């Protein structure tokens, strides 16, 4: 599925998702500015993305991170579009990992892309000047794009979608995610262009709610851990229950990943 939603005179939201009996599990957002896409949507919407690009030529794509819901449209947009990515993302584009069935259903299996150009530290889109910004936590390599004059940050998945995050992926560093959000809070920020929520026009309040929740949760988890409780005991004590689909993710989304990360993970030295 695809929905095209103009946001303002410069930015168009390109929302993609899988059609599941007429409903959507979760939209993912790419952003079109002129002839440039920031991220490229999910693989299950590739045909619709290709049709959209036939009438809205895409010449460049800047990809934030390796996950399938953000790079899935790249294969159908080449060779007309140049793709820019950091080295880990370039590797994922050239050799996509085989996904569990649940994620093939929800987002789709990406097709490989052969040619990927190095991600620049800064680039222009018409009157906009975007700076590369490291946003680790969700993945250690994720980047966003900051337009300093307007106070716009295209943040991919740097800020958790739920206000109370209760699942994590095995390679997420949730402690580092908190630090990244705190760094975002220091920016002169007017709009957060989120990878799943879409444009957020009160970004500091939105982000702080998630920081406060995770820091309070981390304090509770560490206190229980210091008392000798195991991770399953901590989960039970805090009453954290997984959503209906958790077991279907085959370990990619789990509560214990979140708890373990909040106990043991630290912010790597810069």
pLDDT at 231: 97
pLDDT at 183: 98
| Residue 221: inside a domain | no
| Residue 236: inside a domain | no
Please, are residues 45 and 2 in contact by the beta-carbon 8 Å criterion?
A: yes
Secondary structure (3-state) at 31: strand
* Type and span of the H or E element at 47: helix 46-55
Please, are residues 157 and 126 in contact by the beta-carbon 8 Å criterion?
A: no
| Residue 198: inside a domain | yes
Looking up residue 121, the CATH number of its domain turns out to be 3.60.15.10
Mean pLDDT calculated for residue range 134-163? 97
| Residue 254: inside a domain | no
Alpha-carbon dihedral 194, 200, 204, 210, rounded to 10 degrees: -60
Least confident of 22-26, 46-50, 177-181: 22-26
**202-252: pLDDT as tens digits:** 999 999 999 999 999 999 999 999 999 999 999 999 999 999 899 999 999
Indicate the average pLDDT of the chain. Answer: 96
* Residue 81 CB coordination number (10 Å): 21
Please, are residues 152 and 190 in contact by the beta-carbon 8 Å criterion?
A: yes
**60-105: pLDDT as tens digits:** 999 999 999 999 999 999 989 999 999 999 999 999 999 999 999 9
| Residue 222: inside a domain | no
For residue 37, give both structure tokens. Answer: 């896409």
* Of residues 71, 68, 65, 59, the one with CA closest to residue 32: 59
- Domain region containing 73: 2-213
270 or 115, which is more confident:
115
* Residue 240 CB coordination number (10 Å): 17
DSSP secondary structure string, 94-154? HSPPPPPHHHHHHT-PPPP-S--EEPPSEEEETTEEEEEEE--SSSTT-EEEEETTTTEEE
| Residue 258: inside a domain | no
| Residue 126: inside a domain | yes
Total domain count, the chain:
1
Report the percent of the chain where pLDDT is more than 90: 92
Query: pTM higher than 0.75, yes or no?
Result: yes
Q: Residue 16 half-sphere exposure, CB side, CA atoms within 13 Å? A: 27
| Residue 270: inside a domain | no
């Amino acid at each position: 599925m695809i929905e095209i939603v103009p946001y303002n005179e410069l930015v168009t939201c390109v929302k993609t998702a899988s059609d599941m009996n007429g409903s959507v599990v979760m939209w993912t957002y790419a952003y079109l500015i002129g002839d440039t896409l920031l991220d490229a949507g999910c693989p299950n919407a590739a045909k619709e993305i290709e049709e959209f690009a036939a009438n809205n030529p895409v010449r460049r794509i800047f990809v934030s991170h390796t996950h399938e819901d953000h790079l899935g449209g790249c294969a159908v947009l080449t060779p007309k579009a140049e793709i820019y990515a950091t080295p880990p993302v370039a590797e994922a584009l050239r050799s996509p990992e085989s996904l569990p069935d649940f994620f093939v259903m929800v987002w789709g299996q990406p097709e490989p892309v052969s040619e990927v150009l190095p991600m620049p530290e800064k680039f222009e889109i018409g009157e906009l000047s975007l700076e590369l910004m490291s946003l680790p936590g969700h993945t250690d390599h994720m980047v966003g794009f900051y337009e300093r004059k307007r106070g716009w940050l295209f943040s991919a998945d740097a800020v958790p979608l739920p206000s109370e995050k209760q699942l994590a992926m095995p390679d997420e560093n949730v402690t580092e995610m908190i630090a990244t959000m705190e760094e975002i809070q220091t920016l002169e920020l007017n709009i957060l262009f989120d990878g799943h929520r879409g444009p957020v026009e009160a970004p500091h309040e939105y982000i702080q709610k998630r920081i406060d929740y995770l820091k309070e949760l981390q304090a509770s988890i560490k206190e229980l851990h210091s008392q000798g409780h195991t991770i399953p005991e901590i989960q039970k004590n805090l009453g954290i229950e997984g959503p209906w689909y958790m077991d279907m993710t085959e370990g990619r989304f789990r509560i214990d990943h979140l708890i373990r990360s909040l106990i043991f993970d630290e912010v790597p030295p810069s």
